[in-house]
Each structure stands twice: as C-alpha cells, then as structure tokens.
Amino acid sequence: MYGEYELIVATKEPWRLGLGIGAYKALVATGREAFVKLREAAGAYGELLDLLKAHKWIYIKLATDDGFRAAAKQNKKSITVAGVVMHLELVSGRGGSLVAKYFTRNLGKALAAADKLKAAGLRPNIVKSGPNYVVYIATADLLRLAERDGEIRRAIALYLAEKAKDGTPRQREIAEKILRRRPFSIFQCLSASSRSEPRRSASSAGGYGIEA
DNA sequence: GGAAAGACGTATCTAGTGGC
DNA sequence: GCCACTAGATACGTCTTTCC
C-alpha cells in the first residue's frame, strides 16, 4: 500500500527539494517515507493537530508510529484501575450515569478483579449479565478515582466529550448532563497533559501536498 | 460459527428535597 | 415527621460486534 503514495511539492525550483517531475513539482518521497516526511514537517503543528484529532493527521501517525498504531488498536475507551483493564460506559437510567466495567465469563477472574479494586480502596460490584460476570465501579467511585489519577480523568473527559459530540441522542444527553454536573473540563485535562510533555522545536509545515 | 466482549435499554431501588 | 415527587444509581437482560 505504501508504494501507492507520493509526496509531491510544488515549487519554483523543484530540483532543490527532490526529484523534479514536471516544470514546478518535486517528488520528495514515496511510500512510508512520504508519511514520515509529512510528520517531520508538521513540527509544532503536530501538537495542535493532536489536540484537534484531525483525522488525516491520525492516518499519518498510524502509518509512521508503530506504538501509536498498537495503542489505537487496543484503545477502546478503556482505563486501567489497579491493574484491571475496564471500559467506560454511559448507563441510561432515569438520570443517566457513568460506570467502568470489566467483563469476563470466569467467576474466578471476576472475583480476582474485584479483590484488586477493593485493595485500591474502591467498592466494586459483581453482577451476572447473561453468560458474563460484570465487575463494575459506579459513578461516585469513578469520579473519586479521576480526582486522584490524571490519566483516568483524561480518559473520562475524552470519553464524555466524544459521547457528547458523536453519541446517540440519549448518550449526548447523559454525557452533557454529567459534564455539567461535574467539574470536568476536557480542556483542563488536555492542557494539563500537554503541559507535562517536553516542548518540540518549531518548523514549518506549509507547502506540502500528498497524492495517492 | 461460536465464544467473548462491548453497547444499549429498561426496570427498579435509593436518596434528597420540598410542601404540608 | 410524613408523604410525594424527582433525579441519580444500580441491576440485569438482550442485541451487536469482534476475534479466533
């Protein structure tokens, strides 16, 4: 697939940038290298594109960053609590609430997960749901956890923001209600996490185009 | 195709609050 | 203090999606 992509820049002096193709175009890179060049060229703009979650930028990162690709594959709105990977879920009761759940068909695993969560000072519940056992922590515990853990706070904020934007009408209603009710700010969470990262040197991303 | 995991909806319980 | 009402939380079933 990578061979199908070419990074071509239009310029008055194409020979300075790469292989000249036509009077004003330079072929800078092909295949995977085209994505790598694009990513390098983005420089500081990359941070902005990260925050904006621009889908074309995400495609570039998926093509150039193995770790990001693995994380994206694994990431299903899940959080890790006391070593237990749980996924977030909006529950549409009368008011609507947010819970973190761990699914398993193995009762022993469910009990073990609940023990870990208890050891972390939480109050897990185990319910049978069809053939599954569901270990979950309720909204109150989840929010207490979020106060202590920035990563979990960020995951919850992103999840709620995503549901408020792209969820079903009912999910949007619940997500917006929770966001109004709780002192969550997606922007606080994002800016807090971006502040903790080292600054990158700035460079221009202008002038590049990509052709498939 | 089947098992496991994930998503969603409904019913019910519980706690808080206001009116009397 | 009691009752009614409301909102939030929990319980649980079912359907869908994903993965082997």
Question: Domain check: are A69 and A80 in the same one?
Answer: no
Say whether A90 sits in a helix, a strand or coil: strand
pLDDT in tens, chain A (212 residues): 444 555 566 666 666 666 776 666 766 666 666 667 776 776 666 666 665 555 566 556 656 655 455 444 444 456 777 777 777 777 765 556 777 777 776 667 777 777 777 777 777 777 766 556 777 777 777 777 776 777 777 777 777 766 666 666 666 666 766 666 554 544 344 444 333 333 333 233 333 333 33
Say whether the CB atom of A94 is under 7 angstroms from strand C.
Answer: yes
- Number of independent structural domains in chain A: 2
Residues A131, A109, single domain; the answer is yes
Tell if A72 CB is < 7 Å from nucleic strand C: no
Query: Could you list the residue range(s) of the whole structural domain that residue A165 is in?
Result: 76-195
Q: Dihedral angle at the C-alpha atoms of A170, A174, A179, A181, nearest 10 degrees?
A: 140
Last residue of a domain, which of A73, A98, A114? A73
A184 lies in the same domain as A106: yes
User: Which tokens belong to A74?
Assistant: 């694994």
Asked if the Cβ of residue A76 lies within 7 A of any atom of strand C, the reply is: no
Using the CB atom, is residue A168 less than 7 Å from strand B? yes
Q: Whole-number Å distance, CA A44 to C1' C16? A: 41
Q: Looking at the structure, tell me whether residues A109 and A157 fall in a common domain.
A: yes
Q: How far is CA A164 from the centre of its chain?
A: 15
Task: Using CB atoms within 10 Å of the CB of residue A138, give its burial: 0 to 12 exposed, 13 to 18 middle, 19+ buried.
Answer: middle
| Whether residues A68 and A80 fall in one domain | no
- Taking C1' of C7 and every protein CA, the nearest residue is A95
- Closest by CA position to A195, among listed A45, A51, A39: A51
